[in-house]
């Protein structure tokens, strides 16, 4: 199985398109009720769909890995994008910065390196030996 995309709700698709394009995503599908993007790296996609109201926060966070996290955060801040959390080292060995998209969806830009899939506490599996 391969993850294809994550779709988040948007109160205003056009505003969300502008926001995600500023983050560096490439718009590949656009309609008044839906937009889909290709992620800046890899072959994953990401989309937004129009809703008339937002449900209470679900606790869902969408993570995008960025190799040069601190540099990317500074670049985005210079474009007027605000962060709710500046880059910081976390106990789980990732460096993370957080922001909200125009509809309040929580986005985490992070750098994890080898700890993304192989943290020191990873369970041993037959695939890993």
The answer to the question of residue 105 being in a domain is yes
Element housing 72 (H / E)? helix 69-78
The answer to the question of residue 123 being in a domain is no
> In terms of residue numbers, what domain contains 13?
5-116
The answer to the question of residue 122 being in a domain is no
> What's the confidence (pLDDT) of residue 3?
84
Residue pLDDT, tens place only, 8-64 = 999 999 999 999 999 999 999 999 999 999 999 888 999 999 999 888 877 899 999
* pTM (two decimals): 0.90
pLDDT surpassing 60 at residue 126: no
- CATH number, domain of 81, equals 3.10.180.10
Residue pLDDT, tens place only, 91-122 = 999 999 999 999 999 999 999 999 999 999 99
The answer to the question of residue 80 being in a domain is yes
pLDDT surpassing 60 at residue 81: yes
pLDDT surpassing 70 at residue 127: no
What is the per-residue burial (b if ≥16 Cβ within 10 Å, else e) of 67-87? eebeebbeebeeeeeeeeeeb
The answer to the question of residue 121 being in a domain is no
How many folded domains does the chain comprise? 1
């Amino acid at each position: 199985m391969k993850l294809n995309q994550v779709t988040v709700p948007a109160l205003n698709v056009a505003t969300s398109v502008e926001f995600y394009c500023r983050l560096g995503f490439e718009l590949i599908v656009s309609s008044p009720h839906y937009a889909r993007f290709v992620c800046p790296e890899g072959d994953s996609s990401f989309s937004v769909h129009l809703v008339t109201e937002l449900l209470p926060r679900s606790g869902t966070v969408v993570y995008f890995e960025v190799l040069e996290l601190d540099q990317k955060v500074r670049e985005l801040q210079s474009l007027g994008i605000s962060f709710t959390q500046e880059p910081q080292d976390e106990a789980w060995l990732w460096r993370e910065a957080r922001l909200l998209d125009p509809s309040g969806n929580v986005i985490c830009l992070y750098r994890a390196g080898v700890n993304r899939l192989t943290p020191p506490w990873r369970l041993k599996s037959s695939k890993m030996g």
